[in-house]
Amino acid sequence: MACIIGAGSIGQLTAELLRRRGLFKTCFIDTRIKKPKRVACTCSSINGRSSYRCAKGVYPESFVRYADLLIITVKAFSVAKIIRDIAPHLKHDTPVVLMVNGFGAQEELKKLTHENRLYLASTSNGATHKKYSVVEKGLGTTYIGPLKHAKEISVIKYFTKSMPSGTYTASIYDELLRKLAVNAVINPVTAIRNCVNAEILNDPDIIREIITEISPILRHLGLNDSPDSLMHRVETVAANTGANYSSMQQDYYYGRLSEIDYILGILIKKARIYGIKTPCIDKLYQQLKNM
């Protein structure tokens, strides 16, 4: 049984991808319900529409203690609370995969269970959802790797195989930092301008300005990609997801909490530690905080 905490776009798409390969039974975990129930889920995939029924349980008592795999796909700012709730009920040997935007939430995982069972994932899969109906926007690559000393045990191999272009890597932090660079450009700019991803390509100056500021921060964090390489990555993602709205744009549009502190906020915090000036992302951060 794969238990997924977070029935948003990525959580629901992940459940659908696991179902397609048939390697796991899946359930969603939700503290807001009082007893286990089943929910009808639909997925409008690139190749057609599918429907299935999936268990939805109240955690931790009903499902978490029996999980073969726990996948956390909530917003980054919710990770700490999730961990506090489930830690007393999770078996010590259950592998946990954290698949969230931004950077920094993985530190909370260390409080959950032994580090040799903790994994991080970075995905470029795209989807939107409304309640229990998810629309697949595109399938990219999903990287899975250990937080520190975890081995690629069989259940993680099955999870990796279930993801289109799933790749296990011992250098998961590099992939997380590359995604952080992409998110640091696309998310705040589209949120402020209330636009789809492709529109940022009309302003290469803002892309270059942000990348120029964050590149030395990322180097301090261990990523040695050149600014040109990171800029090319941002432009490629923006082009490939051109008609999509970023998660941060959607959060601001619908008046929800955003992950700004785990994207620009964490970069600014690290910049202060390293003595790096960041006037551009400072301005973007304040604009978003005032919106």
Per-residue model confidence as pLDDT tens digits over 50-108: 777 777 766 555 678 888 999 999 999 999 888 888 888 888 888 999 999 888 888 77
pLDDT of residue 34: 67
Write out the DSSP string of the chain: -EEEE--SHHHHHHHHHHHHHTS--EEEE-TTSSS-EEEEEEEEETTEEEEEEEEEE-TTTTTGGG-SEEEE-S-GGGHHHHHHHHGGGS-TT--EEE--SSSSTHHHHTTTS-GGGEEEEEE--EEEEETTEEEEEE---EEEEESSS----HHHHHHHHHSTTEEE-S-HHHHHHHHHHHHHHHHHHHHHHT--GGGGGG-HHHHHHHHHHHHHHHHHTT----HHHHHHHHHHHHHHTTTPPPHHHHHHHTT----GGGTHHHHHHHHHHHT---HHHHHHHHHHHH-
Q: Which residues are catalytic?
A: 179
- pTM recorded for the entire structure: 0.89
pLDDT < 70 stretches in the chain: 31-34, 57-62, 111-116
pLDDT of residue 35: 73
